[in-house]
Structure 1
Amino acid sequence: MLDDSAEFERIAPKLYLTPNYLAAKVDHMVETIFLKYNIYKDEMEFSKNGQILFLKKQNGRKITFENLNQKYEVFKFEDKLAYFMVHNDGKNQLLSRQIVKFQKEKLAKTSYQVDKPADFKRQKDVFYLKFDNVIKEIFSSKKKFYDVFGNKAKSVKTNNLIIKNIEGLEKIIQHLNTI
């Protein structure tokens, strides 16, 4: 895709959640590991003997970045393992996927335009609900949103919470966990 050129060096940090390796706890290991989340590849990287390696994805693996106060967990989704950011604990969980897309270089078509170099662009996070052990995407349309809950939709609707922000979604999931 891209080589080790100066241009790639300029945009490479955009692949990651943070530019540096951060202290993280993996599962129930006592030892702290320094990891960096490569959002573009959906991989947790670590460096060993000057070589970049990837943490093995296992269903249910939990990673907690201590300084960021963020938790990630590996779930099977669409027939592959993927990292999800976990926003709450409990039977039902609010999850999100962070996405980075590669944008190809665009050459100017006229002299009035300028060339746009290749770049990695962070996309809007996609939210999911882990409900009855099934992961479903959360839509911003109220009708599609409440359809996810099936027979518990009526109980969730009575809260009158805003579904377009993370605080409202977290409150809905907390309420759902008490039912």
Structure 2
Amino acid sequence: MYNKFLFLFLFIFSNSLWSQNNTFAIQKSNFLTFISANGIEEPKSDIEGSQYINKDFSPSTISCLSEKTPPIRYNVFKEEMEFILDDKLYYVKKSDSCIISLGNNSYKYFENYSKEKKGGYLMILNKLNDPKYILYKKEKVKFVPEYIPNSTYGKEKPASYVIDKSKYYISMPDGLTEFPKKKSELLKLFPNNQVSIESFLTDKKISFSQESNLIELIDFLNTL
């Protein structure tokens, strides 16, 4: 209990210091957009689960801003980067030209990343400098409505937010595409390097269902 109180105190204190020193610079940048005055407390709700995969605010940098930026957290369900300033909740203005780093994770916004023309933040997985191909992960949180059974045999379930299965994407010279789920689809993307890729997949026993294997594979593709 004491540790939780100490953490909350240090967070509020550090955020207050940040606000005092950087409010003017951030407002002047016209990059961060005010959206509400709810503070850091989330409204009470009967909905189980969370709109966040990580609810903590993390140290941040934004590549297209020279100013210092506040601790930020990613609301996966709403597709918003959130931060607190003067006890008010803000969203970071969406831009496909900036990289937002939260702790050890970096995100880029895409206006249309899927076949459904959805916009959202994708996490950058390979850390090479200026890579030809970039591997992205789309984290997902979905809303599951309340379930009320039609008979006494069923079990009632409250509405909930549930972490859904992530999808992976690769940036190609002609744009972003969903990462292949099997070898044959991958070879179609790289018709001039099929022999090398097949050999690598066999030697390294690459699984298309393992994120660490996909990162290893994308690093190899960048050597071709």
Taking structure 1 as the reference length, the TM-score comes to: 0.84
Q: Deviations over 1:36-85 (max 9, x none)?
A: 1000111101122222111011112111122xx11111234255642110
**Greater strand proportion:** 1
Contact 2:53 2:163 in 1 (8 A): no
The alignment of Structure 1 onto Structure 2 pairs a total of residues equal to 171
Q: Given the alignment of the two structures, is residue 25 of structure 1 paired with residue 70 of structure 2, yes or no?
A: no
Q: Given the alignment of the two structures, is residue 7 of structure 1 paired with residue 46 of structure 2, yes or no?
A: yes
Query: In 2, Cα distance between the equivalents of 1:93 and 1:37?
Result: 21
Write out aligned runs for 1:136-155 (5 A). Answer: 136-155=177-196
Range moving further from structure 2, 163-172 or 98-107: 163-172
Aligned twin of 1:110? 151
Shift of 1:5: 4.6
Write out aligned runs for 1:96-135 (5 A). Answer: 96-132=137-173, 134-135=175-176
Contact 2:111 2:120 in 1 (8 A): yes
Aligned twin of 1:163? 208
Aligned twin of 1:36? 73
Contact 1:104 1:118 in 2 (8 A): yes
Aligned twin of 1:178? 223
Taking structure 2 as the reference length, the TM-score comes to: 0.69
Letter in 2 for 1:31: K
After the TM superposition, which parts of structure 1 deviate over 6 Å for at least 4 consecutive aligned residues? none
Query: In 1, Cα distance between the equivalents of 2:180 and 2:200?
Result: 18
Indicate the SS of the match to 2:197: helix
State percent identity of aligned pairs: 24
Aligned twin of 2:23? none
For the structure 1 residues 153 and 58, does the alpha-carbon distance in structure 2 shift closer, same or farther, using more than 3 Å as the test? farther
Structure 1 unaligned spans of 5+: none
Structure 2 unaligned spans of 5+: 1-42
RMSD: 2.1
Write out aligned runs for 1:87-102 (5 A). Answer: 87-88=125-126, 89=128, 90-102=131-143
Query: In 1, Cα distance between the equivalents of 2:137 and 2:221?
Result: 18
Letter in 2 for 1:58: S
